[in-house]
Amino acid sequence: MPAITITLAILLIILGVACRFFSTAQSVTVMMPAFIGGLFLIAGLVALKAGARKHAMHAAAMIALLAILGSVGGLAKLPALLSGAEVERPLAVIARSITFVLCTTFLVLAIRSFIAARKARVAAG
């Protein structure tokens, strides 16, 4: 799971940097995916240490949940954007939607991993 977390971090950092590169906005919020990716990177690197893995992965799952809640608003405007309608800040809609999909996928994988780890602990007695 730490490798998946680090991979997610890299993808979000790339997304944030790309948004900054393609955006004309001067606001720092355009880099929000990169900031979230930085948090995932820290959690993933901490999780490489076996003794800290459980806590780091739970922290990463919480970060994912908060990122999902923060980015879900982009999904509401996505159908209009894809149909060719004009939406306010289309790059933000795309970035928030991608962040939502990546973090939701990660959260599902994390929950499955938590369940598997618990079953393995119970089976080991």
34, 66 Cβ separation under 8 angstroms: no
Cα 23 from Cα 39, distance rounded (Å): 23
Q: Which of 6-10, 24-28, 41-45, 110-114 shows the lowest mean pLDDT across its residues?
A: 24-28
Our count of domains for the chain comes to 1
CA angle 102, 68, 87 (to 5 degrees): 85
Over residues 61-83, mean pLDDT: 90
**CB neighbour list of residue 53: distance below 8 Å, 6 or more residues apart:** 1, 2, 47
Q: Quick one: pLDDT band at residue 49, thresholds 50, 70, 90?
A: very high
Which pLDDT belongs to residue 119? Answer: 93
What does the alpha-carbon distance between residue 62 and residue 56 come to, in Å, rounded to a whole number? 10
pLDDT at 41: 98
Which pLDDT band, with edges at 50, 70 and 90, does 76 fall under?
confident
Running DSSP on this structure, what letter comes out for residue 77?
Answer: H
8 Å CB contact between 59 and 41: no
pTM: 0.89
Q: Which domain holds residue 23?
A: 2-124
